[in-house]
Chain A
């Protein structure tokens, strides 16, 4: 009961915040104009961060936008349930402005679970020399895989992000850095590239509270201020999009992750991380297919113990099938989608040296669901979720099943 009340209270607060913080939205100020974008449309992943609806602030060159995402959970693990809970996952605000003709600024502030975690997800400056050559600097969303750059919840039909993008690729991975990106067009085709130097991940990758190699645990806010080892990591992506066939991207992210020097004195040898990802999306008739696969390799200190793997791998594949599209209430093109995602992450690829048997420590999941989009920028979704979690030794898995209902919308 207490949880339900607390959750209700959180939602109320959020409503007040929205109304108080954005009187313009509540009152409809005619000086503000909405820059329409159909976020469900297929565009190159590279442009995802700009492919969002914004509201222009009067006659200024600045526009604001954002999204809100919430859901309910009911899960049972091996017959035991924590009951119902509701969460307000994210409330994000973007600020976008065209400072001058070729200079764009974008920032994104994220409130996770109310005000529990607040983060500056993006604060970047783009300087266009020509479409094939742009400079970017600031806090940027690293182009590893497709989801990380295109992670706005209203664009997705499932409540949970794909496991490979949260537990292997640590989305949202945004870092301080600089680099170049661009697009080269050909008839029916676009090539995009991105190359950045960023501060990178740090020692928390290992010997962390997860008790396993964990890229998410390697993130640290202090890295916005200073690199831990004076050696930036490299992030690079190449993607190819064909208007009819869809898009495929390959990306790399890596470099030295450990602080191997203290006050300039080497204390240990340099340890590298290399993360590779392959992503694709395509449209087959009424179905949109998305997928992403990632593989990480790390150099580890000697004798960390079997719980810390030097290889991780994972991926997901999902199909979003538009069952029907018709007028519902006042929405002319309401879409109803049937969705299915299958996914897995193996946190520890390899064998146990003592017994030669496989190291497990993995999770597999299957997620069928339904979603309704009254407008391209809003999604109401429900999914069932079943996952199997195995420990390092591969003992009988813990099985979890449950339902989630939620919404996500740009505003």
Chain B
């Protein structure tokens, strides 16, 4: 072999090694403390299989031939809940409200109070109706650990509520009550109120009682996919009826929805990072001192669950699943159930520090992603949370930093 040839070979080999050497030949696992979308460890093999099926269905993209739409918002669960992490404003849902105050009108007879701003060929996407009082945009929340939240007993939730602020700390906390859909399967720990309504706990206004309702709603309202649980396409004003696609209903069987529900129930809790660092520990103390933990309750426990791994577990979601009046800045004049328009369910703070890994290396906090930094998110806290905000603003900068490090470690 002559020299030029050797040189050329050495060069190409060098180039190859240079490119690949920085990462290994076989890419490593993602660091476990950054990994979302993993199943909880203690599942049985049967549960693991159902989880895997649910995972596939969560990623399934619906096309026109599968019954997408005819009016819809997006084409797969995963397209909004990217990597099971916190969602981005470009995949948000727009909801609107016709009535003022308490008389929430779900507007089911005219196609529900969620904007279907996309449409398959031949249909016109919806635009915001003119006769509404308010509207809001909701970014998709991260979906890790939801099985634990679903297994908290109503009694425990009610124990955290203080509707009349009897303890006088300025923080009340009320449950959002809803009439259950006909396919609702109550657990022993579900306690209806006098009117037979149940406590909602999922969604940013706590609008869904359990994960089955949340998921069946998502199929229908977010993708226009009918299921065994909600068998009829949304009312379509352009047609004056509930049809629109030529795909026989239900477009997905109950087993698909149930596997997706199990998938949602069995995603592990978002992992923490640097939890033992002194700065983080100091921040954790401040979080309690400033009263943040009164709403963002650090520790909850589950009741008995048919999934052994979820039974009688303590976990750390940093929420009380209750509604709080957050003041005028966060009032979009939009409501669900018995919530007032200024009331939001306490956002679980777990996984907060992983937001940038799912939101495209940027962050978007609060229900519509309006806050671009953690201090900004805190500055929006008003109403019942005004005291906490004032205390945070009054903190010396180094202490503020400690609190932020703690939030980043979640």
Contact = CB atoms under 8 A, between A and B. Distances in A.
Contacts, number: 144
Q: Is the interface of A mostly helix, strand, loop or mixed?
A: loop
B76 A357 contact: no
Given A301-B121, A323-B5, A386-B23, 19 more contacts: A76-B26, A76-B27, A81-B26, A207-B75, A268-B122, A286-B5, A286-B8, A305-B79, A338-B9, A353-B90, A354-B92, A355-B88, A355-B90, A368-B12, A393-B88, A395-B358, A395-B361, A396-B357, A401-B26
Interface string A201-228: 0011001111100000000000000000
Nearest to B17: A368
B15 A305 contact: no
A340 B28 contact: no
B12 A395 contact: no
Interface string A174-217: 00000000000000000000000000000110011111000000
25 contacts: A79-B30, A203-B64, A207-B63, A207-B75, A208-B63, A208-B64, A211-B76, A262-B122, A303-B119, A303-B125, A305-B75, A307-B79, A321-B12, A323-B1, A355-B90, A360-B360, A368-B15, A386-B20, A393-B82, A393-B361, A395-B357, A395-B359, A399-B27, A400-B27, A401-B24
Nearest to A212: B61
* 8 shortest interchain CB distances as A-B pairs: A393-B360, A79-B29, A211-B61, A399-B27, A76-B26, A354-B89, A368-B16, A267-B122
A399 B27 CA distance: 6
Given A393-B88, A394-B361, A321 B8 contact: yes
B75 A211 contact: yes
Contacts of B26: 76, 79, 81, 401-402
Interface residues of A, number: 54
By CB atoms of chain B within 10 A, which of A208, A259, A319, A402 has the most? A208
A377 to B, nearest CB: 25
Interface in B54-96: 61, 63-64, 66, 68-69, 73-76, 79, 82-83, 85, 88-92
A260 B122 CA distance: 8
B290 to A, nearest CB: 30
Interface of A: 76-81, 203-204, 207-211, 258-260, 262, 267-268, 286-287, 301-307, 319, 321, 323-324, 338, 340, 352-355, 357, 360, 366, 368, 384, 386, 391-396, 399-402
Interface string B30-64: 10000000000000000000000000000001011
A268 B121 contact: yes
Nearest to B28: A79
